[in-house]
Amino acid sequence: MKKYKHNINSEIAYTHLFTKKKQTFIAALGVTVGIAIFIFMNSLMNGFEVASIESLFKSTPHLRIYKNDALSESLVGSLDSSKINLISNPKITSESKKIINPIALLKTLKNEPEVTGVTPNVSGNVFYKNGDSEVSGRVSGVIIEEQNAMFNLQSYIVDGNYANLSGYQNGIILGVGIAEKLNLKMNDNVTVTSALGVNKLMKIVALLETGNKAIDKTLSYINLPVAQQLQKQSPSYITDIYLNINDFEKAEASIDKYKDLTGYDVEDWETANASAAAANKMRKMMAMVISLSIMLVAAFGIYNILNMTIMEKLNDIAILKAIGFSGKDIVRIFVSEAIIIGIIGILFGLILAFILINLMGNMWVGGDIGFFPIRVFPKYFGVGIIFGLVITFFAGYIPARKAAGLDPISIFRK
Amino acid sequence: MKNSDIILSTEGIGKYFYEPEKFKVLTDINFDIKKGEFVTMVGKSGSGKSTLLYLLSTMDTEYEGTLTLDGENLTKQKKERLAEIRNEKIGFVFQFHYLLPEFSSLKNVMIPALKLGKYSREEIEAKAYKTLEMLGLKDQALKNTSKLSGGQQQRVAIARALINDPKIIMGDEPTGNLDSKNTSIVFEIFKQLTAEFNQTVIAVTHDNDFAKASDRIIEMADGRIIL
């Protein structure tokens, strides 16, 4: 009987869309706004999150390996009155802070597949002096190239060049807060005095500004051997090993592994920055809740506007059914209309989201953040497309299915 | 009368309306209609004739009793099958034209045939033109239906009902909106279809002249057939 397959369903769908251009446009606009806001808000929140994590990792490694101060143990486990007890004098020994054979250990760590950066560190408390004025703070003895690779040091250098440190044995990269207090400029000299009374005259090769005042007022970077000399230690003296792995989220889970591997204590960034990590977790939860709410609101808006366009066509549905279109045909016609509206809306939604993100990204917030930390995350554009298609499909399908099940007469009678 | 001559038969058909309150609108409707018959249904408004016609057209499936069309019991059929039957075997003309407002007259007439898919698009278009011409609408073929007068719209709706050569044409006051000249044109077409092509026509009408000229009159009152 059926010899020809005329594509009449799509023809009707296209005619509906093209003869009512304004209505199609408004429905598509509903989708556009929903999708754009969904993508924009997600990018906003994720950009913010990435920025705050990045600022955390300016000075904190994913994992820090160190030898904890330990009391020498008592020679007897517990006091027992039936025996004579030897009295010991528990004390932190000067050896206890030291990591033994650090060069071999660094090599072992570098060979781990997930490790992206390893660098040794000697840190100690010092006084910075210029004439009579002095500031207490902390020096970090580093291998500057490795330090830069791990913490992107160059992006916080406001004057000079971090690489100059390797050229001057007695060079120092000074926090801007210290420089300000001591009235120091580039290429000036500063006296650094360690807790052990060692004095060193250092030349400022670069100035550092992280945006965190507490760091900028205390921290300086010097060459590793100089730091060892300040501590009156040999070239094998290392207090910490900084370790970055490929996924900072896995830091906590890999603590035990590195404890076993090195035999020393391991601290992850979350423990080192408990409040920042908790804030980060909270932000993540908040972002998820907001994202879901936006999804819900956008979905509801899209559903409503498409549902309305279909309900306006209820009479046409009855007519089509009267002349022999089945419920399936009706569903096909209106679902394809919804999907076409959806595709148009999504397309413009992606463009709008892109524009909004760029506008927001050009807003200057200052501080160590600079421009607002929003960026184009392809992930959210992908999710936006899928979300839009799913919603428009159901926004077409549900009302069409409902209308398709009715007897044409029951529609005409209304 | 041979069974194969019967195109449509009803057996004990009854129907209720539930709003505003339960009300029996059709009671025990039994009749057979033969192929090639031109039947009119008359009766006062509220007698249930339009309601009955909608049941016969399968557009209303909430009823009791049995309806048989062209040897096929329609009462227990799935909606998909009923849609196919409406497309292929039934041409329906409403009291109000019920054309699709976004399409031209020609497209409105063509759509049921495109749905049926029995002929190529060119053949369908030629046939639609021919049918419109027969109803004096050739000049209006490419106009959007919302631009036509009431009478013209009604004739386009009739052309749409005829396009698939249905076994049975049903009209709910098909000539209600037409002047006497067009009424007689439509009447002649119906006559010709029944006489020459053995198609069947059932029309609800208030027009006594129209009814009298038909082969058979079914008169209804209070939901029952009285003649």
Considering only CB atoms, which chain A residues are within 8 Å of B99? Answer: 319
Considering only CB atoms, which chain B residues are within 8 Å of A327? Answer: 79-80, 83
Residue-wise pLDDT for B48-85, tens only, equals 888 999 999 998 888 999 999 988 899 888 888 999 99
The percent of residues in chain A predicted with pLDDT above 90, rounded, is 26
CB contact under 8 A, B84 and A3: no
Give ipTM to 2 decimals.
0.91
Residue-wise pLDDT for B147-164, tens only, equals 888 888 888 999 999 999
Question: How many Cα atoms sit within 13 Å of B113 on the Cβ side?
Answer: 24
Nearest CA in chain A to B164: A323
Query: CB of A319 within 8 Å of any CB in chain B?
Result: yes
Taking residues A255-272, report their average pLDDT. Answer: 85
Higher per-residue pLDDT: B150 or A343? A343
Rounded to whole angstroms, the Cα distance separating A283 from A272 reads 18
Which among A1, A319, A409 is the nearest to B100, CB-wise?
A: A319
Whether the predicted pLDDT of B131 surpasses 60: yes
Whether the predicted pLDDT of A71 surpasses 70: no
Rounded to whole angstroms, the Cα distance separating A258 from A249 reads 15
Query: Testing the interface with B: which of A16, A20, A323, A411 to mutate, by most B Cβ within 10 A?
Result: A323
Taking residues A29-33, report their average pLDDT. Answer: 90
CB contact under 8 A, A409 and B111: no
Measure in Å the smallest separation between the Cα of A335 and chain B Cα atoms: 18
Q: Is the pTM of this model over 0.90?
A: no
> Which two structure tokens, joined as six digits, stand for A390?
């799913």
Nearest CA in chain B to A10: B115
DSSP code for B21: S
Which region, left, alpha or beta, applies to residue B121 given φ > 0 means left and ψ of -120 to 50 means alpha? Answer: alpha
CB contact under 8 A, B117 and A11: no
Measure in Å the smallest separation between the Cα of B69 and chain A Cα atoms: 15
Band (pLDDT 50/70/90 cuts) for residue B1 is very low
Query: CB of A152 within 8 Å of any CB in chain B?
Result: no
Measure in Å the smallest separation between the Cα of A293 and chain B Cα atoms: 38
Whether the predicted pLDDT of A358 surpasses 90: yes
The 3-class secondary structure across A48-93, one letter per residue, is HHHHHHHHHCCCCCCEEEECCCCECCCCCCCCCCCCCCCCCCCCEC
Whether the predicted pLDDT of A31 surpasses 50: yes
Which among B83, B102, B121 is the nearest to A6, CB-wise?
A: B121
Considering only CB atoms, which chain B residues are within 8 Å of A12? Answer: 100, 111
Whether the predicted pLDDT of A218 surpasses 70: yes
> Which two structure tokens, joined as six digits, stand for A9?
């369903």
Nearest CA in chain B to A408: B59
The percent of residues in chain B predicted with pLDDT above 90, rounded, is 41
Q: Residues with Cβ < 8 Å from A341, sequence gap 6 or more?
A: A17, A24, A27, A28, A31, A306, A309, A392
> Which two structure tokens, joined as six digits, stand for A292?
């879901």
Considering only CB atoms, which chain B residues are within 8 Å of A316? Answer: 100-101
> Which two structure tokens, joined as six digits, stand for A173?
């990269």
Taking residues A176-191, report their average pLDDT. Answer: 90
Residue-wise pLDDT for A130-176, tens only, equals 888 889 999 999 998 888 888 888 888 888 888 888 888 889 999 99
Q: Residues with Cβ < 8 Å from A366, sequence gap 6 or more?
A: none
Which among B98, B107, B120 is the nearest to A319, CB-wise?
A: B98
CB contact under 8 A, B83 and A329: yes
Amino acid A239: pLDDT? 85
DSSP code for A99: P
Separate counts of helices (H) and strands (E) for chain A: 15, 12
Query: CB of A94 within 8 Å of any CB in chain B?
Result: no
Residue-wise pLDDT for B154-202, tens only, equals 889 999 999 999 999 999 988 887 888 888 888 888 888 888 888 999 9
Q: List Cα–Cα distances, B153 to A36, A51, B94, B144, in angstroms.
A: 44, 66, 11, 10
At how many degrees (to 10) do helices B105-116 and B79-88 cross?
Answer: 120
Considering only CB atoms, which chain B residues are within 8 Å of A329? Answer: 83, 115
Which among A8, A20, A322 is the nearest to B59, CB-wise?
A: A322
Query: How much is the mean pLDDT over chain B?
Result: 89
CB contact under 8 A, A409 and B60: yes
Question: What number of C-beta contacts closer than 8 Å exist between A and B?
Answer: 89
Which stretches of chain B are DSSP H helices? 49-56, 79-88, 105-116, 121-134, 150-162, 180-197, 208-212
Nearest CA in chain A to B123: A4
Closest C-alpha among B120, B112, B64 to residue B92: B112
Whether the predicted pLDDT of A15 surpasses 60: yes
Query: CB of A49 within 8 Å of any CB in chain B?
Result: no
Query: How much is the mean pLDDT over chain A?
Result: 86
Closest C-alpha among B40, B36, B57, B73 to residue B198: B36
Amino acid A92: pLDDT? 61
